[in-house]
A and B are shown apart, each in its own frame.
Chain A
Amino acid sequence: MRLPLESRVLFAVAAALVPRDLRPGWRREWEAELWWCQPFSRLELLQRISGAIPDALCLRIDQADVLPVFRRTLPRPSTCLAALLLLIAALASASHGFRHTRRALAPVQLPRLAILSQTGPFMGQRLGLPAAKLAIWTSRARTLEGASVYIFYRSVVSIGAEPPRELSAAKAGPEFFSLLGVPAPLCADCVVLGPRFSGELTGRTVIVDGRRARVTAVLPRAFWFLDAAPAVWTLWDPASWRAFPDSLTGAVCRLKPGVAPATAERELRQLAAQTEPWAPGRRISVDPLRDIARRPLTALGPMWLAFLLASCLASLAASHGRLFLMLKSALALVAVLLVDLEFGGATAITSTGGASFGDEAVAFWLLLTGSGLALWWSWRDHRQRCHHCLTRLSMPVRITQAARYLLEPSGIELMCPHGHGTLLTTEGSTPESHWAPLEIEV
């Protein structure tokens, strides 16, 4: 089996960690494991191979007495930076290569796409639109090139000989995929499968919502439309779910070239006011898909940059190891931001292109407290490092006696393991630290 370059490199690194005498057997075992992963994408393969690193480390630890090595290595400044880089690498592995962050940074291919929604009377909550009214507005609007409804739900799906299972699904208007520029036709007796399925299913028959349907297309892996990631797309029929009259649909539109979202918004609000007695407190919004995808970065970015700037300024004011402190703080802040974006709900987008109150609040507070804690840890760690070689100080000793507190400074003295100096941290109402270099090097 021929592995992609990045997987080969990672595999070679893992193999190098395995003790020499165990390496041939370990290699055979992992090659057999990877043979089963041939249909995987490059990213999935890389993720699978990343599991070889802890496996190799286990073998290494089993064979060697690594404790003295750890004791020597852990206090080094390079170990601290390596640990932070390793943490970021682990985050990359757990988040499918920073999926959400990449999406927020990626250029939007169809910049004229926008989500139509109406703000509700409760705290400006974004709601869907009544499908029938959308059809009237879009037929009269001069700023829109086209629009389509969509709605997310759960469906019972059976593919091939598999037993029926519950999957996320969506219904969309016939013009939905053409608006998005994806060649995936939707019709009454056909469905489009999401990117999680293999392209080989095209043309096969599946059972969706208890009805047989032909698969006309499987969406490409790069396809993204909000966060629901439905497994199956079926055609929206106005008669669908007539017994559930409260269901509001989402709506996506394409603006005509040169039309600003604000212009379209004004026109649609006027149309809405003309065609129906509009409920008070409700307004139509037109939000470009590009802005929706980038909102996590635009919302959290300024606060994060402020923390970064503060850490840089604090690093410049440090008495020693400025570059190390700057790097350490920056890496810690990057890790916090990535955790927030990938796992903190910062990038969660509702079906109408908004963010839920809970997710936004959690993401904000996670970044605020996470960044604060990261900087606190970074600064605290830095205070306990040698001013000469930046190794963590060790051998804490309590200085002076309780009976002489008033006469001499009391505190804890730490020593550089390489003998570069001692640090005395004094206690009391104004704690201070004094670095005393030693002239004798061990």
Chain B
Amino acid sequence: MRLLLVSVLVIASVLAQAPARPDFSGHWALASATGTAPPGNLALDIEQATTAIQIKAAWQEPPGGSYGLTTIGIVTPLARFTTGGQEDLNQVGPFVFHSRTRWDGPRLVTTWNTSEFQGHSFKGTWTRALSADGRELTLEIAASDSGATSTRAVLVFHR
């Protein structure tokens, strides 16, 4: 009984000291983009649970049907990530998207790479952060392709 009580107290103290995770849940519309040209009307629907996050994206197809590949993995209908650092697999067009997502303080960091398709593959990092008032989501993208071309972009979404 005493052991149980001590365990409960230890867990409670650890939980009390753990930093509060920001909640990205909600509908987010793209407000601005620098470093890339994402498709028009890009919006994200995020559902966040304790150890996982699910992101549904909607956008308007550009007339030519193509857009910058800096946003690969973001402009995809559905992606699911666990936040415990395990490897996640998602399908992004002809690529298999390998990623690991973990919390870095209040920021959610995803490191990813893709399978190869017709000689091309990509890798990069996303860093998601919420503003203090919780109304602005900033997504920093650092990506590079198999030809060693690197790009950096920042997407800002508003609730």
Residues of A within 8 A of B (CB): 151, 153-156, 164-166, 209-210, 240-248
Contact = CB atoms under 8 A, between A and B. Distances in A.
Contacts of B77: 210
Contact of A156 (B64, B66, B89, B117): B89
A127 B96 CA distance: 23
Contact of A247 (B64, B69, B91, B117): B117
A348 to B, nearest CB: 15
B78 A247 contact: no
Nearest to B66: A245
Contacts of B116: 154
A246 B93 CA distance: 13
Contact of A210 (B91, B94, B95): B91
A230 to B, nearest CB: 13
Contacts of A166: 89, 96, 98, 115
B89 A209 contact: no
Nearest to B121: A154
13 contacts: A153-B117, A155-B91, A156-B89, A156-B96, A165-B89, A210-B78, A210-B91, A241-B93, A243-B69, A243-B93, A244-B93, A244-B94, A245-B65
Contacts of A164: 89
A248 B67 CA distance: 18
B66 A242 contact: yes
| Nearest 10 Cβ contacts at the A-B interface | A154-B115, A153-B94, A242-B65, A154-B96, A241-B93, A209-B91, A245-B66, A156-B89, A166-B96, A156-B91
A248 B64 CA distance: 17
B137 interface: no
Interface string B33-75: 0000000000000000000000000000100111101000001
Given A164-B89, A244-B94, 10 more contacts: A153-B115, A154-B115, A154-B116, A155-B91, A156-B89, A243-B69, A243-B75, A244-B66, A244-B93, A247-B94
B42 to A, nearest CB: 13
Interface in B108-140: 115-118
* Listed residue (A156, A164, A165, A242) with the most chain B CB atoms within 10 angstroms of its CB: A156
A241 B94 CA distance: 7
Contacts of B96: 154-156, 166
A156 B94 contact: no
A211 to B, nearest CB: 9
Nearest to B67: A243
B25 interface: no
B90 interface: yes
Contacts of B66: 242-245
Interface residues of B, number: 21
Nearest to A351: B118
Contact of B118 (A156, A165, A248): A248
B61 A242 contact: yes
* Listed residue (A242, A243, A245) with the most chain B CB atoms within 10 angstroms of its CB: A243
Contacts of B75: 243
Contacts of A154: 94-96, 115-117
A245 B64 contact: yes
Contacts of B117: 153-154, 244, 247
A151 B78 CA distance: 23
Contacts of B94: 151, 153-154, 241, 244, 247
B67 to A, nearest CB: 6
Contacts of A246: 118
A246 to B, nearest CB: 7
B40 to A, nearest CB: 13
Nearest to A245: B66
Contacts of A151: 94
B52 to A, nearest CB: 14
Nearest to B65: A242
A245 B77 CA distance: 18
Interface string B81-110: 000000001110111101000000000000
A239 to B, nearest CB: 9
Contacts of A244: 66, 93-94, 117
Contacts of A155: 91, 96
Contacts of B67: 243
A245 B93 CA distance: 11
A210 B78 CA distance: 8
Contacts of B78: 210
Contacts of A210: 77-78, 90-91
A352 to B, nearest CB: 11
A243 B98 CA distance: 19
A241 B115 CA distance: 15
A156 B90 contact: yes
Contacts of A243: 65-67, 69, 75, 93
Nearest to B114: A154
Nearest to B78: A210
Nearest to A167: B96
A165 B67 CA distance: 28
B28 to A, nearest CB: 20
